[in-house]
């Protein structure tokens, strides 16, 4: 386990999505931050405007600026989920208490691998020999649930998905 960078410690985190947002084969983290529901004498926890941490594949993460990431969630952030649009785009939706829903679109083409309701995790094998385990749980954000899919790109050679009964299925993209 590695601590997250200092910037990720500046405010409350209410929603989080992990995925490979830049296509480098390493997991990145997108966060919906801030909390205005604290005791008035403590003040609000509002030091961030959403945050993306770029993963290096070795457990370390580096914060991206708003200009680098395109993520700007300035208010009382709550849920954060990943979705697929009707025309096949990868979306991140961020809710804010008493504020507008913000939707961000990933600026790269994606192919999606739908997951079954009982899928628990996937082992992704990359063409360069690396292996990565991704859990496929339900609900990783404030009262919300992301779409059940994995991004598949040309760097992946195979995916083995395990369900809650221990049965595996292998997918070749």
Predicted confidence pLDDT, tens digits, the chain (173 residues): 788 999 999 999 999 999 999 988 899 999 999 988 888 888 888 899 999 999 999 999 999 999 999 999 999 999 999 999 999 999 999 999 999 999 999 988 889 999 999 999 999 999 999 999 999 987 677 788 899 999 998 889 999 999 999 999 999 88
Instruction: Confirm if 136 and 171 have CB atoms less than 8 A apart.
Output: no
Distance CA 112, CA 173 (A): 10
Distance CA 72, CA 112 (A): 25
User: 8 — alpha (psi -120 to 50), left (phi > 0) or beta?
Assistant: alpha
Per-residue pLDDT, 154 = 87
Beta strands per DSSP E along 97-165: 102-105, 111-114, 119-126, 131-135, 149-152, 156-163
Instruction: Confirm if 17 and 140 have CB atoms less than 8 A apart.
Output: yes
Instruction: Confirm if 54 and 69 have CB atoms less than 8 A apart.
Output: no
The domains of the chain are located at 6-171
Per-residue pLDDT, 151 = 92
Task: Kindly state the helix (H) or strand (E) to which residue 13 belongs, with its residue range.
Answer: strand 13-19
């Amino acid at each position: 386990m590695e601590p997250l960078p200092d910037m990720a410690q500046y405010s409350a985190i209410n929603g989080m999505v992990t995925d490979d947002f830049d296509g480098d084969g390493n997991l990145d983290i997108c966060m919906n931050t801030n909390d205005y529901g604290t005791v008035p004498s403590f003040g609000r926890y509002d030091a961030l405007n959403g945050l993306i941490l770029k993963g290096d594949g070795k457990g370390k993460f580096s914060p991206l600026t708003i200009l680098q990431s395109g993520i700007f969630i300035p208010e009382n952030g709550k849920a954060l989920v990943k979705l697929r649009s009707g025309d096949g785009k990868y979306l991140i939706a961020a809710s804010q208490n008493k504020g507008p829903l913000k939707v961000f679109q990933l600026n790269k083409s994606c192919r999606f691998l739908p997951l079954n309701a009982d899928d628990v995790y996937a082992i992704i094998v990359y063409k360069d020999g690396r292996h990565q385990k991704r859990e496929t749980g339900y609900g990783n954000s404030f009262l919300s649930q992301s779409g059940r899919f994995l991004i598949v790109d040309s760097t992946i050679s195979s995916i083995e998905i395990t369900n809650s009964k221990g049965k595996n299925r292998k997918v070749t993209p």
